[in-house]
Structure 1
Amino acid sequence: MTTRHFGADPRSQAGTRVEFPASRTDGGEASVSNDVAVQTRDFGGCTILTVPGDLDAALADEIRWAANAADSRHVVVDLGRAGSVDASAATALVGLHERARARGGGVCVVTRELGVRAQFEQVAPGFAPRCYDQIGDALEASMSDRDAAPADLA
């Protein structure tokens, strides 16, 4: 499993984003530096985006950028540490989900917070990303969708 960190390189031009190699801790998990908001990992063709806290518009932009950089049709957004989601951030994630669906994929969200789930349904009733309590369940659903996609095209 690889991890990519996204942030600004002080040597680069203002506003340019660069990809940093993952650093490792003794447990094999990627460490998170202070300048990184969203952690990105690839898991068998599914991109996992982990948000460190509440989701606001700035973090939603970071999620959208990271998902586009990963060029994955199947995205799991881990909001396990988020207690709230800004309405504009929910709208941005619904848009990411719609774009992924148009490419034969989708977005799954990991959260146990009923308020977070309700925010997605308010933004796009019936079209919101699916929500799961556990990341394992979201990955299983995403991988099943990925495996079923070629069969649907035949």
Structure 2
Amino acid sequence: MSSSTAPGGRRTTLFVRSDLPAPSQKRCTAIERELQELVCRGVLDDTETVEWEKRVPLQGPGNGTERKLYNEFADWAREAGVCLAPFFDTRLCYSSTTGEKRRELVMPAVCLAVYEDDELVQVAPFADAGRAESVEECIAELAETGTLPDTYSATVSTV
């Protein structure tokens, strides 16, 4: 596969938390630049950045988008034989306004999803047998080879 073209309509979505401190914002800006460079080189057809919440309730109304994304990412991880923890985590959280406690899904500060023909084929970060694959490592692999490692490239339909 040539790194000068993006076969099959490859695109990425970079998910970032809206409440990032300055050093993490700089990291996101650097990642966005690298992804744009891959678009310019033809490795990717498109890239977008989407803000998401720091944490979302596991049940109840609201934040269904993040929960849906997590379920899609978890399906990919199962098929790829990798783990999304500890990057995605659940915690028991207390509401200072209502005094209630509930389980919430804590989203990573930065997450990359790679799609080919609108099917999810890669998520970063993830863990595999004690080794973590970062967003930056995923981008570096795309930049170097124009492809994703076969080991972790499982296809999950998003339609």
The answer to whether the superposition gives a TM-score over 0.5 is: no
TM-score (norm 1): 0.27
Structure with the larger RCO, 1 or 2 (CA within 8 Å, 6+ apart): 2
More strand per residue: 1 or 2?
2
Q: Which of the two has higher C-alpha Rg?
A: 2
TM-score (norm 2): 0.26
More helix per residue: 1 or 2?
1
